[in-house]
């Protein structure tokens, strides 16, 4: 290795050529690269935003479920195929359980004889209330918003709004319909 110089070399004088200096070049390059980075970031953000549609062509989640008096005590499966909800009536209320297993999304079956909902995929089991008691389901079935229409007294179910037991929402006003 060569011996180090006694003094640090002085920085070379700033050469100027037609008004272009080292400093001005670096300033322009910094500006250019910043602009490039900003444009790239904006482009990527726009691309990701593009993938989230503003309008969904899906069937409406709100439907009329008939007269409350047409529901006997127990689980009613008349809307299961079309809308994926069970209308359940117990002694003093009616509620709507969403027929989607909270484990991984299969459609459970109501087993009348064993008085439980049972998912055919991985065996999750739920009581008639929707509370999970066996299998891999980590939480109870979700309840859909349910209310009685002011105009014609029919039950209206809206699957877009969900009520989760584990968040204490089953006692919310629209999570059930109080029955006589």
Partner 1 sequence: MQQAIVSSQLWRSIFRVGIPNTNRKRVLAMLGNVVLHLHPVKTRKSGVKMRYTWCAGGVTFFLFLVLTFTGLLLMFYYRPTVEYAYVDILDLREQVPFGIMREVHRWGAHAMVISVWIHMFRVFMTGSYKPPREFNWVIGVILLVLTLLLSFTGYLLPWDQLAIWAITVGSNMASATPLLGIQGPGTNLLKIGDIQLVTSTNDARFGLLGGRFVGAGALLRFYVLHCVGIPLIAAFLMAVHFWRVRKDGGISGPV
Q: Which residues contact 72 (CB under 8 A, 6 or more apart)?
A: 89
Out of 4, 15, 46, 51, name the contact with partner 1 by CB under 8 A.
51
Tell me, by CB under 8 A, how many residues bind partner 1. 11
60 binds partner 1 (CB under 8 A): no
Nearest distance from C-beta of residue 3 to partner 1, angstroms = 36
> HEC profile for 71-106?
CCCEEECCCHHHHCEEEEECCCEEEEEECCCCCCCC
Q: Residue 121 or 131: which CB sits closer to partner 1?
A: 121
168 binds partner 1 (CB under 8 A): no
104 binds partner 1 (CB under 8 A): yes
105 binds partner 1 (CB under 8 A): yes
Q: Given the DSSP bridges, would you call strands 155-163 and 132-134 parallel, antiparallel or unpaired?
A: unpaired
Instruction: Give Cα 7 distance to the centre of its chain.
Output: 67
- Which spans of this chain sit near partner 1 (rule: CB under 8 A)? 48, 51-53, 56-58, 104-106, 121
């Amino acid at each position: 290795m060569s011996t180090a110089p006694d003094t640090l070399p002085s920085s070379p004088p700033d050469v100027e050529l037609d008004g272009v200096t080292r400093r001005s070049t670096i300033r322009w390059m910094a500006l250019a690269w910043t602009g490039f980075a900003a444009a790239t970031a904006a482009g990527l953000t726009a691309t990701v935003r593009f993938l989230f549609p503003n309008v969904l062509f899906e069937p409406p989640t709100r439907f009329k479920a008939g007269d409350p008096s047409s529901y006997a005590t127990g689980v009613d499966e008349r809307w299961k195929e079309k809308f994926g909800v069970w209308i359940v009536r117990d002694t003093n209320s009616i509620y709507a359980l969403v027929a989607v297993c909270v484990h991984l999304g299969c459609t459970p079956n109501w087993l009348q004889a064993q008085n439980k909902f049972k998912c055919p995929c991985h065996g999750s089991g739920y009581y008639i209330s929707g509370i999970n008691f066996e299998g891999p389901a980590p939480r109870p079935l979700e309840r859909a918003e349910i209310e009685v229409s002011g105009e014609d007294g029919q039950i209206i179910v809206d699957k877009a709004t969900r009520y989760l037991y584990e968040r204490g929402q089953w006692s919310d006003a629209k999570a059930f319909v109080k029955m006589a």
